[in-house]
Amino acid sequence: MNTKAPQILLTNPWIHDFAAYDFWAKPLGLLTLAAVLRGHGMGVSYIDCLDRFHPEAPPQDPAARHGRGPYHKRRIPKPPGLFDIPRHFSRYGIEPPWLDADLEAVPPPDMILVTSLMTYWYPGVRETIRRLRGRFPGVPVLLGGVYATLCTDHAAAHAGADQVVAGDGVESLFRWIEAFTGFRPQWRFDPGDLDAYPYPAVDLQRTIGYIPLLTSRGCPLACAYCASRYLEPRHRTRRPDSVVEEIRFWYDRHGVTEFVFYDDALLIHPERHIVPILKGVIATRRPVRFHTPNAVHIREIDGRLADLMIRAGFETLRLGLETTVFDRRWALDRKVDERQFREAAACLRCAGFNKERLGAYLLAGLPGQPISDVERSILTVKESGVRPVVAHYTPIPHTALWPAAVAVSRYDIASDPVYTNNAVFPCMPEGFSWEALTRLKNLARGD
């Protein structure tokens, strides 16, 4: 058995896509692994191929747009089979020579961990791993994350990693470290206790523009288009006081004012969870702002909760509505009905949320979905005083809608995840056109 603690390189890979933007996107799982490794005495280095604040990149203000901003990009060829898409395709993130220089500067690793997110971003993952292998030949590369979990067999065949790790990377982490380095770490905390975890190692980023917050894991609902239950079979929550203490830590130690909830079910059981969190935040008197790009469930929102959210500093609130065709939505989910949506919208407007801060996601491109349903939903949302935000449907393996998506898609999405890219609307019905998409966007934006 090796008794020397290994040096581990953690890498956030490039994105290959038609479009990508930093809408508060951080590799939270990878940064959590970094914190766990560091807390157990192992050497940690970190490379972010999406670093917007790289010294070689054009300067950006980390405080602009509440921490959001464009990635650096370089046009590259489109994937085979997508040449007919009338958009440019790019590598998003730092330039390859910048990555090479960064890899020269890190300590030689004994193991490399790479994360993954969208399944159709795997070409960027593959290119990143190829680059890592060129610099560190013979060093084992492990791939985890969403793509690795949802498309394990495809990742094993195509990503180029030595090992694809599906599911919770933390719980299997030490087993893989021992297998590939011979070092056997011993747990210093209970990995089943969310409150025992160290805070994610966001300090490894060059610049901290915002902090991703995860106050719970998993979701008790089972929506047909969502893979949350597959990725996180159990719904677990942190103690409210633990969440408040983390917010206080990042504000007091690092001056961070922008916080982004990554939860899939932030408002579930509000009296036990979000209500005490919001009361605790208000009591700290810290001038912080919160954003919810993952969307929140609507049916829990009443006047009291809306008031607490506005007082606590919710700046960007997104509602998980998906459609207002309520008479046919039960095949998708059972998370909200028409009365609940209208009452929640009224409560939020009364509390002080305007259209600049309040939006509702509407899915477009569902299997068999007429464009008229999206148009109807946009108009209903606007009538309720909420801004419609059209979200392109992504077919996801292991969801209830996946078989229908495979059946109707004009691409062979079952064989290659690159064809599930929501930018190409893989499941739109016959008669769809890019002009129709433009009309939807204009309808959503217009007053």
Q: How many CB atoms lie within 10 A of CB 110?
A: 22
Find, among 136, 144, 159, the residue nearest to 36 by Cα: 144
CA atoms in the 13 A half-sphere facing the CB of 225: 25
Q: How far apart are CA 117 and CA 108, in angstroms?
A: 26
Q: Which mean pLDDT values do the consecutive 10-residue runs of the chain (447 residues) have?
A: 89 98 96 97 98 96 95 97 93 98 97 98 98 97 98 98 92 92 93 95 96 96 95 95 98 97 97 98 98 97 98 98 91 93 97 96 93 93 95 96 96 97 87 78 83
pLDDT of residue 116: 98
- β-pairing, 7-12 with 43-48? parallel
pLDDT of residue 433: 73
Domains detected in the chain: 7-181 (3.40.50.280), 210-445 (3.20.20.70)
H helix or E strand, kind and range, residue 356: none
pLDDT of residue 437: 81
pLDDT of residue 234: 92
Q: How far apart are CA 15 and CA 93, in angstroms?
A: 7
Query: Could you tell me the pTM of the whole model?
Result: 0.96
DSSP track, 168-222 = -HHHHHHHHHHHHH-B----SS-TT-GGGSPPP-GGGSS--S-EEE-SEES-S--
Q: How far apart are CA 181 and CA 9, in angstroms?
A: 13
| Structure tokens belonging to residue 71 | 């990635």
Q: Report yes or no: 11 and 83 within 8 Å, Cβ to Cβ.
A: no
Sign of CA dihedral 340, 345, 347, 348: positive
Q: How far apart are CA 115 and CA 162, in angstroms?
A: 13
Q: Report yes or no: 48 and 4 within 8 Å, Cβ to Cβ.
A: no
pLDDT of residue 447: 62
| Sheet with 289-291: strands ordered across | 211-213, 258-261, 289-291, 314-322, 358-364, 387-392
Secondary structure class of 258 (helix, strand, coil) = strand
pLDDT of residue 432: 67
Q: How far apart are CA 390 and CA 371, in angstroms?
A: 12
pLDDT of residue 434: 74
